[in-house]
Amino acid sequence: MSIKKQESYEETLEKQEAKQSKEATSEEFRQFDDVAEAAKEQELRDEKAKADLALPPDPDALLEVRHLKKYFPLKKSMSGKVLVSLRAVDDVSFKLKAGETIGIVGESGCGKTTLGRTILKLHQPTDGQVFFNGEDIAKFKPAQMRPLRTQMQIIFQDPYSSLPPRSTVGGILSEPVKVHKIVPKNEIKDYVLQIMEMCGLRDYYYERYPHEFSGGQRQRICIARALSVKPKLVICDEPVSALDVSIQAQIINLLRQLQSEHGFTYLFISHDLSVVKHISDRIGVMYLGSMVEFGDKKSIFENPLHPYTQALFSAVPNPNPDVKMNRIVLKGDIPSPANPPKGCKFHTRCPKAMEICSHIAPVYKEYEPGHFTACHCYPQED
């Protein structure tokens, strides 16, 4: 027979207090005009963004992204006015220093790839600034971007579809070197062989075709192709997700080794937190197009502030068998970025959601040096 544990006096008091505070909060929001508040909030954000956009770029940053937005139009009127848009990247800001790696994590569809592609101007930004080497390239025309293309490279997730099937490895790697005149014509072959060696590719692969290689080898070819033009910034979009775990480790170690030898700067996009933990110096966590937390790796793993980060990182296995895993399982589906929830975009799934969260969006603020988050659990005022 089960005996119901008797509630202590303190527990009863706590419950009553919680009930009263909930009633008070509901009362507080009964007269709340969401539309007017959202307009006021947007006005304040626009003012803050305007002030930020007027600042000079940080001379220490190779890449500085400010209030970046990429909205895809979904529905237009007869006159061409956008009626409905999908907010794939919605007001993202961060800085990347030369030689470091920033990991971008988040569930599928949160806007990681769109962020990377918008930085590289493979998508035209809807709004915001992208400073690369101190120049705002967000409004650059294709002709202005051309000389920068070699300095900004991307490695894609799928090494199978990203290599032309009818070219040899030598041909694939020589092409960009030739087009961008990286070395004199008569030195191209030697240079390509050198890059191949750097990426762990044997010299006799030069005459072979992509279909003759495994996934890991193909990804090495993709890395060699990206690095052959001596880039400063490499955006790695899930570069190991399509590979076996053992091969993943080889590719990650290769990227790290090349970074320490040649000083490459990486923006590393992945949904695999263990991989991101291994390679990143700092980490940005995205949810529904927005950056909800950003900080150095240690802070993000050891002291995650945002409830979404806490849930995401609670799923990472701990190598210490004495540490008990306390996994937070998020309920509900990810809402559509075409119609994101009002207030905090995460409130429909947040285990810590309060009444205010469904009405007012929290401010994205720095709470510890270099550690930013947007959540009503922390003070909102300056």
Which residues sit at the interface with ligand SF4, rule CB under 6 A?
Answer: 306-307, 344, 346-347, 350, 352-354, 357, 362, 375-377
Interaction between residue 118 and ligand ATP (CB under 6 A): no
Interface of this chain with ligand ATP, residues 321 to 360, rule: CB under 6 A: 337
Q: Toward ligand SF4, which CB reaches closer, 42 or 194?
A: 42
Kindly tell me which residue out of 93, 114, 126, 219 binds ligand ATP, with binding defined by CB under 6 A: 114
The one segment of 11-19, 52-60, 102-110, 260-268 that binds ligand ATP by CB under 6 A: 102-110
Between residues 264 and 364, which has the closer beta carbon with respect to ligand SF4?
364
| H-run or E-run covering 302 | helix 297-302
- Main-chain dihedrals φ then ψ at residue 343, nearest 5 degrees: 65, -135
**Which one of ligand ATP, Mg ion, ligand SF4, none interacts with residue 377, CB within 5 to 8 A by kind?**
ligand SF4
Nearer to ligand ATP, 272 or 281 (CB): 272
Q: Which of 93, 101, 113, 299 binds Mg ion (CB under 5 A)?
A: 113
- Give φ, ψ of 349 to 5 degrees: -125, -5
Least separation in angstroms between residue 295's CB and Mg ion is 22
Q: Restricting to residues 32-91, name those near ligand ATP by CB under 6 A.
A: 72, 86, 88
Q: How many residues bind Mg ion (CB under 5 A)?
A: 1
Closest CA to 301 of 288, 321, 318, 289: 318
Residue 199 phi/psi, 5-degree rounding, is -95, 15
Q: To 10 degrees, the CA torsion angle through 157, 160, 163, 167?
A: 170
- Residue closer to Mg ion by CB (options 155, 177) is 155
Q: Do 348 and 335 contact (CB within 8 A), yes or no?
A: yes
Backbone dihedral angles phi then psi of residue 128, each to the nearest 5 degrees:
105, 180
154/350 with CB nearer ligand SF4: 350
267 in contact with ligand ATP (CB under 6 A) = no
Give min distance, CB of 235 to Mg ion, in A: 11
Residue with tokens 């240079």: 191
| Closest separation in Å from C-beta 139 to ligand ATP | 20
Among candidate residues 348, 351, 357, the one with its CA nearest the CA of residue 326? 351
CB atoms within 10 A of CB 352: 15
3-state secondary structure of 75: strand
Contacts of 232 (CB under 8 A, 6+ apart): 62, 98, 133, 151, 152, 264, 265
Q: What is the phi/psi pair of residue 109, to 5°?
A: 90, 5
Q: Are 116 and 92 in contact (CB under 8 A)?
A: no
- Whether 265 and 101 have beta carbons less than 8 Å apart is answered as yes
Please tell me the distance from the alpha carbon of residue 318 to that of residue 297, in angstroms, as a whole number: 15
Strand 265-269 versus strand 101-105 pairing type: parallel
Cα(280)–Cα(295) distance, rounded to whole angstroms? 11
- Which CB sits closer to ligand SF4, 125 or 362? 362
Pick 208 or 271: Cβ nearer ligand ATP: 271
Q: Considering the rule CB under 6 A, would residue 111 count as an interface residue with ligand ATP? A: yes
Residue 10: CB minimum distance to ligand ATP, A:
45
Binding partner of 111, given ligand SF4, Mg ion, ligand ATP, none, CB within 5-8 angstroms per partner class: ligand ATP
Per-residue binder mask for Mg ion (CB under 5 A), 247-286, x = binder: ----------------------------------------
Instruction: Select the span of 106-114, 176-184, 260-268, 324-332 touching ligand ATP (CB under 6 A).
Output: 106-114
User: Toward ligand SF4, which CB reaches closer, 230 or 352?
Assistant: 352
Task: Give the nearer residue to ligand ATP in terms of CB position, either 194 or 336.
Answer: 336
Alpha carbon distance 279, 121 (integer Å):
25
Q: How far is the CB of 116 from ligand ATP (least distance, A)?
A: 8
Six token digits for residue 118: 């918008």
Residues that bind Mg ion (CB under 5 A): 113
Q: What is the binding site for ligand ATP (CB under 6 A)?
A: 72, 86, 88, 106, 108-114, 271, 337
